[in-house]
Amino acid sequence: MTNFTCRKAEPNDTDLILQFITELAEFEKLVHEVKADAATLHKSLFMDPHGPEVLIAEENEKPIGFVLFFHNFSTFLGRKGIYIEDLYIRSEHRGKGYGELLLSQIKELAKERNCGRVEWWVLDWNERAINFYKKMGATPMSDWTVFRLTLS
């Protein structure tokens, strides 16, 4: 039987986190958009007290995935929330319930921090993820269009 654990990322996890980001980008066919490097990532994750946070998922003490998230704020709720930028489980470990456990960790953290909601995006073609999120009780926000201003 496998042993799942989830832990807060530490500065020495920077290269691992960058590796997970690259693997996720390859899966999403967006590796050409990855501009992050270890130094920039380390500074953003571990030197900025208001920066994003990372949880590392492990199976038998071996890293198998991660979730990177940060706080946002809902003016309608008058409360902060958690926005998940990336949730990734390596392909050989998918289907074992680890994604559900990792998302449950985020939900519990959001409750502890008195957040009003947890939000994220998913690519339209990723039916497996869409079905997984619906199974977890998430609701697609089809009435909204995502906009982006990219700064150089």
Give, for 67, the enclosing helix (H) or strand (E): strand 62-74
pLDDT per residue as tens digits for the range 90-132: 999 999 999 999 999 999 999 999 999 999 999 999 999 999 9
CA–CA distance, 9 with 4 (Å, rounded to integer) = 15
With a pLDDT cut of 90, the percent of the chain lying above it is 92
Q: What is the per-residue pLDDT for 152? A: 74
In this predicted structure, what is the pLDDT of residue 150? 87
User: Is residue 2 pLDDT above 90, yes or no?
Assistant: no
Candidate list 83, 88, 98, 133, residue with the active-site label: 133
Provide mean pLDDT across the span 60-72: 97
**Beta carbons of 66 and 6 less than 8 angstroms apart:** no
DSSP H or E stretch at residue 18? helix 14-27
CATH fold label, 4-135: Aminopeptidase (3.40.630)
Task: Specify whether 133 is catalytic.
Answer: yes
Q: Can you tell me the distance from the alpha carbon of 96 to that of 89, in angstroms, rounded to the nearest whole number?
A: 10
**Which pair of structure tokens corresponds to residue 126?**
């990723």
Q: For residue 58, give every residue at least 6 positions away whose Cβ sits within 8 Å of its Cβ, in sequence order, or none.
A: 4, 5, 6, 7, 64
Give the dihedral sign, CA 131/133/138/141: negative
Residue 1 has pLDDT above 70, yes or no: no
* Domain map (residue ranges) of the chain: 4-135
